[in-house]
Amino acid sequence: MIKILFIINPISGIGKQKNIADKIDLSLDKSKFEHKIVFTEYARHATELAANAVKDSTEAVVVIGGDGSINDVANALTGTKVAMGIIPSGSGNGLARFLKIPLRISNALKVINAYKTKAIDTIKVSSDNFERIYTSIAGVGFDALVAQKFAKSKSRGFNSYLEIIASDYPLYETKSYKLILDDKREINTKALMIGFANSNQYGYNAAIAPEACIDDGYIDISIVKKVPLVLLPVLSPMLWTNNVNYSSYVKDYKAKTIRIISEDKCLNIDGEYFEVGEEVLFENIYRSLNVIVP
């Protein structure tokens, strides 16, 4: 019997996880799994629950939530043998989409029942008095501003993102950044935003780093210049067709470590907003997290 813990974030996304406990009881293969279900009660509670599961010799922890909830659990499971499962119920569900995990709860549970695992990279980001693991994408600049405002928004879903972008993009001023790749190459640039990708997904099938591979040992860097408003209707669809790298407003690089220096102390990590220092280090941790995949 595989000992498995389900961690449910009851307030994530748009409420897809309602009655999920009943669906787990009905659909989970009881001949294969010995399961327990718990609910998060406050911020970062999922990290505590997952860390306790590791100590309790649990073999898998399944997250029912969005990319933020996945991030919380990944911070406890990275570097352990405990596998992470995903039943997506967030707003954008970026990592689940990248890994081809079904968005329908019943089909996601079938993936759990099949119990096939894959080792993926994680990225460690650190700064003064700050350290965090992420699985999908981090970003600075306009990206982080949108994450900050979305966190304060009373509504969820794709329309909330669009409203924030439409309101703030026209007057947003680009910032200066210095990047050092693998302690060798230095890049000085002004940018609308810079993405540091493990997967290519922001969520909603919007792809910022089309060539990102989640188990290759590299971080994909996308430096995005500000696009004139008149060109947005032409260039924006590239995000949803995985072709953004063909735009002259985007420059892509790969590195195992990236040091970024700027006055911009805001960071988006897997859809959540954090404040960091002026110098931030990104490090790929090669195939450090086991994930249940289709």
Which residue numbers in the chain have pLDDT < 50?
none
* Domain boundaries for CATH 3.40.50.10330 within the chain: 2-114
* Domain boundaries for CATH 2.60.200.40 within the chain: 126-284
Give pTM, 2 decimals: 0.91
Distance CA 49, CA 37 (A): 11
Q: What does the H/E/C string look like for 197-260?
A: ECCCEEECCEECCCCCCCCCCCEEEEEECCCCHHHHHHHCHHHHCCCHHHCCCEEEEEECEEEE
**pLDDT digits over 61-93, tens only?**
999 999 999 999 999 999 999 999 999 998 789
> Percentages helix, strand, coil for the chain, rounded to the nearest 5?
30, 40, 35
Pairing type for strands 83-88 and 60-65 reads parallel
- Residue showing tokens 């990590």: 269
What is the CATH code for 126-284? 2.60.200.40
Q: Distance from first CA to last CA of the chain, Å, rounded?
A: 20
Q: Which fold has domain 2-114?
A: Rossmann fold (3.40.50)
- What pLDDT does residue 13 have? 63
Record the tokens describing residue 155, joined without a space.
């509504």
Contact (CB, 8 A) for 158 and 170: no
